[in-house]
Structure 1
Amino acid sequence: MLLLATFGASAQTTRGKVQVVAPPFFDTLLAKRATLNKGGGGSRGYTSSYGYRVQIYSGSNRSSAFNAQAKFNKEFPEMRTYIVYKEPNFKVRAGDFRSRIEAESMKEQLKPWFPVMFIISEKINPPKTVITND
């Protein structure tokens, strides 16, 4: 028994070395990610965050989903719309709202066109920024 106790104690104090082997392009990818997160490069220059969208259509008919999207785009051409397909349903969602209050306001405006709507919490794209040369 005494022999096993001393062996167990010595095994716990023995230290080894850990060597991490990374692909050569790993550091390049880390640097690119840091640049994108700062907003200083890349094609988008922004990151997504969670917010709200108004779901204006949900159903299995693809053409009805595209019709709902076209109807929305006709009334609100400046706002983004998204079609999500999760078998067997198509869902049309509109807007990139940072707060639920903004989404509720849009839902109230849409009542004449879309009788059944839901507010969905999901990752959103930040609103487009206006760049002027003043």
Structure 2
Amino acid sequence: MKKRVSVWRSVFTVFVKCVVLIGLLSLPSLVLAQTRGKVEVDKDSKVDSLIGNYLVGGGKTNTGEPASESSYGYRIQIFSGSDRKAAYNVQSKFQNKFPDTHTYLSYRDPNFKVKVGDFRSRIEAEKMVEEMKPAFGSLFIISEKINLPKLDTE
């Protein structure tokens, strides 16, 4: 009788070892087998209208003017220096000669910079530089974020 119990015990231990081995071998596939879930977004309908206004440019700036669309393009730097009066003088001189082109005055300690134009391509900026060379000294084409000019749709 004693032998019979030991045979069953050895069969049971072999069975347990096989089950454990199969479980250990299938464990990585269980861990790595993840399914994609579904995400539901619960938001206010005003979010869509705000995003639409931002993308279309229908929003307002802090001055109350309509926000314009912007993208990266080119501007021409016509002045850089620490004298505020000189910066304003160069800006007004430019506006008198080229009234249809926007000017931008910025200050970054310790210099004032006057940049002009909103050019989509470098070629447009280079054409303007050729027109401006007789009136202004050193001109630099700068790549930066610009306000996109309005397109004629008519």
Q: Return the TM-score normalized by structure 2.
A: 0.63
TM-aligned CA deviation for residue 113 of structure 1:
2.6
Q: How many residues align?
A: 128
Report deviation, 1:12: 1.9
Greater relative contact order (Cα < 8 A, sep 6+): 1
Matches within 5 A, 1:1-134: 2=21, 3-15=23-35, 17=37, 19=39, 21=41, 23-24=43-44, 25-33=46-54, 36=56, 41-42=58-59, 44=66, 47-129=69-151
Q: Give per-residue Cα distances to partners, 1:22-71, cap 9 Å, x unaligned.
A: 5424334344445x17xxx5565853233221110011222222221111
Q: RMSD value over aligned CA atoms? A: 3.2
SS of aligned partner of 2:74: strand
Q: Distance in 1 between matches of 2:130 and 2:101?
A: 16
Whichever of the two has the greater Rg, that structure is 2
**CA 1:94–1:23: 2 relative to 1, 3 Å:** same
- For structure 2, the residue ranges without an aligned partner over 5 or more in a row are 1-19, 61-65
Superposition TM-score, scaled by structure 1 size:
0.70
Q: What is the CA–CA distance in structure 1 between the aligned matches of 2:121 and 2:133, rounded to whole Å?
A: 19
User: In structure 2, what is the Cα distance between the partners aligned to 1:128 and 1:54?
Assistant: 19
Aligned-partner residue type, residue 79 of structure 1: T
Distance 2:139 2:52 in 1: 42
Between the two proteins, what is the percent identity of the paired residues? 46
Change (3 A) 1:70 1:131: farther
Cα distance in structure 1, aligned partners of 2:113 and 2:40: 45
